[in-house]
């Protein structure tokens, strides 16, 4: 694992996290027929993602170039961004070779869904004519050039990958204000290293976009929201929050409580009654929530007359009522599968899954609203960990916030390495049971459930450790 600090100095975050992809497989015939129809999730990139990147000399040399020159603070950020973008374009081009030679494609299955949806739109149809398209219609509209230029979407996602890095730098500029020139240069260099290590030179983030996954767009919008709030443009932030962030993915709704509190005078009050009063008189917070929800509703109202009830069912209602019987990292899959024929218990389990999520959203909002990047990270981490469906794609939602709080988590090298190893090992155990189930035909379904429970426990410990070793920037001692 690559360390941020030399010698025995503490490092300030968990290193780059691997993000696994999902694939489809057919379950063994001895399982019940209803489950055979369920979509099977397992990562075929467990060992392949990094080896794929490392098998490309151009990509590997470009990544090494970034890591080598970032040590020199005179090495401009613009040049780093250019090299990072070139590396991603290399991967986009490589995808054609890989997809031709190998049975397991480099191109993400979702990219085929996006492309097919865009094709339907280009012919005057609905993107929802493509089964499993459950995204905003705006994405299919944006990707219309894919019809004549198949790589357009991948390149667009890579561009947003670089925009994410630019937004990191903009947000981090806050730490440079009021600093002396020498100190400013040192901090700026450390910031650049953080962005390079956790994002630009991370082969996983590059591969995600180059394969045709749209998570980079969502990540960029979430960071833009933070930047606007940081600069005090809270009305524009509310518009971005509703019309873009929630429109692209529903999950940014979980950030509303923390933003509401950050716009109040809650923390400045000494008495309980005054704090309660500050919540009811928080007109900025109420306006923010109103703008966010109204802008989101306006976009939905715009698309509804065009695509009808199918749009609401696939884009919105599906995610609320979703009960995934396929095996995934969440232990809920086994419970839902076990009570598949009992609608009452299925509903109890499904809605009961929201209880710990709501609890953590509220608790973290009140505890960390004064540091939104950290608050959003722990909130998202908990939300994904305790979600009734947990796939590798969801890990990106909190990984994107990691560079903004790396310097606020005072882990020693040993502690960081131990937690990271535990995260990989428990995830690997689940992947092993899933592999034996899907590709070898062994009945490891209950073992998969136990592995999911172990992964849940590991994530819970990691979250607790991150919170225990979190040091707010105001209290953080500079070296």
The runs of H, that is alpha helices, within 199-342 are 203-210, 215-230, 234-240, 246-248, 256-262, 272-280, 283-312, 318-321, 332-338
Residue-range domain boundaries for the chain = 1-29+327-479, 43-214, 232-324
How far apart are alpha carbons 228 and 235 in whole angstroms? 9
Which of 11-15, 153-157, 292-296 has the weakest average pLDDT? 11-15
How far apart are alpha carbons 260 and 291 in whole angstroms? 12
Helix 152-172 vs helix 181-195: crossing angle, to nearest 10: 150
Q: Could you tell me which residue, 253 or 17, shows the higher pLDDT?
A: 253
Whether residue 266 contacts residue 278, with contact meaning beta carbons closer than 8 Å, is answered with yes
Which percentage of the chain shows pLDDT scores above 70? 80
pLDDT at residue 107, rounded to an integer: 92
Q: What is the mean predicted confidence (pLDDT) over 158-187?
A: 83
Contacts with 181 (C-beta within 8 Å, 6 or more apart), sequence order: none
How far apart are alpha carbons 125 and 119 in whole angstroms? 8
Residue 437 pLDDT > 60: yes
pTM, full prediction? 0.80
Q: Which secondary-structure segment (H or E) carries 99?
A: helix 77-101
Count other C-beta atoms under 10 Å from residue 270's C-beta.
6
30 band by pLDDT with thresholds 50, 70 and 90: very low
Q: What share of the chain is helix, strand, coil (3-state, %, to 5)?
A: 70, 0, 30
Which percentage of the chain shows pLDDT scores above 90? 50
Residue 68 pLDDT > 80: no
Residue 218 pLDDT > 50: yes
Q: What is the mean predicted confidence (pLDDT) over 362-367?
A: 95
**Burial label, 338 (beta-carbon count in 10 A; 0-12, 13-18, 19+):** middle
Tell me the C-alpha to C-alpha distance, in Å, between residue 22 and each of 5, 108, 190, 304: 34, 9, 34, 30
pLDDT at residue 28, rounded to an integer: 43
Q: What is the mean predicted confidence (pLDDT) over 168-187?
A: 76
Residue 429 pLDDT > 60: yes
Contacts with 380 (C-beta within 8 Å, 6 or more apart), sequence order: 251, 254, 397, 398, 401
pLDDT at residue 301, rounded to an integer: 96
105 band by pLDDT with thresholds 50, 70 and 90: confident
Which of 184-193, 300-309, 401-410 has the weakest average pLDDT? 184-193
Q: What is the mean predicted confidence (pLDDT) over 321-330?
A: 72
pLDDT at residue 22, rounded to an integer: 40
Residue 42 pLDDT > 50: no
319 band by pLDDT with thresholds 50, 70 and 90: confident
Q: What is the mean predicted confidence (pLDDT) over 40-65?
A: 50
Q: What is the mean predicted confidence (pLDDT) over 413-438?
A: 90
380 band by pLDDT with thresholds 50, 70 and 90: very high
């Amino acid at each position: 694992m690559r360390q941020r600090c030399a010698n025995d100095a503490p490092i300030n975050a968990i290193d780059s996290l691997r993000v696994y992809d999902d694939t489809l497989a057919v379950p063994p015939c001895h399982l019940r027929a209803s489950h055979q129809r369920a979509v099977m999730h397992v990562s075929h990139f467990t060992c392949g993602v990094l080896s794929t990147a490392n098998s490309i000399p151009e990509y590997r040399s470009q990544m090494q170039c970034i890591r080598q020159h970032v040590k020199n603070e005179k090495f401009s950020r613009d040049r780093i961004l250019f090299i990072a973008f070139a590396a991603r374009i290399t991967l986009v081009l490589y995808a054609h070779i890989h997809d031709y030679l190998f049975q397991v494609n480099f191109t993400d299955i979702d990219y085929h869904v996006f492309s097919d949806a865009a094709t339907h739109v280009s012919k005057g149809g609905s993107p929802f004519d493509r089964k499993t398209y459950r995204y905003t219609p705006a994405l299919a509209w944006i990707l219309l050039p894919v019809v004549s230029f198949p790589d357009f979407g991948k390149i667009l996602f890579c561009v947003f990958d670089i925009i994410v890095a630019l937004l990191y730098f903009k947000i981090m500029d806050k730490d440079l204000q009021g600093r002396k020139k020498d100190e400013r240069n040192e901090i700026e260099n450390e910031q650049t290293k953080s962005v390079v290590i956790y994002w630009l030179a991370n082969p996983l983030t590059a591969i995600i976009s180059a394969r045709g996954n749209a998570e980079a767009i969502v990540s960029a919008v979430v960071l833009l929201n933070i930047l606007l709030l940081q600069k005090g443009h809270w009305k524009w932030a509310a518009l971005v929050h509703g019309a873009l962030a929630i429109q692209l993915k529903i999950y940014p709704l979980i950030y509303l409580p923390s933003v509401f509190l950050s716009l109040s005078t809650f923390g400045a009050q000494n008495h309980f009654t005054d704090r309660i009063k500050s919540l009811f008189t928080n007109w900025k917070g109420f306006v923010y929530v109103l703008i966010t929800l109204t802008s989101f509703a306006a976009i939905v109202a715009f698309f509804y007359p065009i695509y009808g009830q199918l749009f609401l069912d696939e884009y919105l209602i599906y995610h609320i009522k979703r009960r995934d019987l396929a095996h995934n990292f969440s232990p809920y899959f086994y419970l839902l599968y076990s009570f598949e024929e009992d609608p009452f218990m299925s509903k109890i389990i499904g809605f009961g899954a929201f209880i710990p999520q709501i609890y953590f959203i509220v608790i973290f909002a009140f505890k960390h609203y004064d540091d939104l990047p950290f608050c959003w990270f722990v909130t998202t981490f908990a939300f994904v960990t305790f979600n009734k469906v947990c796939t590798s794609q969801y890990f990106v939602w909190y990984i994107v916030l990691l560079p903004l709080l790396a310097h606020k988590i005072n882990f020693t090298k040993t502690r960081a390495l131990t937690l990271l190893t535990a995260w990989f090992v428990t995830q690997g155990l689940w992947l092993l049971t899933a592999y034996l189930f899907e590709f070898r035909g062994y009945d490891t379904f209950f073992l998969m459930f136990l592995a999911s429970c172990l992964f849940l426990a590991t994530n819970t410990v990691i979250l607790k450790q991150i919170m225990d070793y979190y040091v707010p920037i105001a209290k953080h001692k500079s070296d």
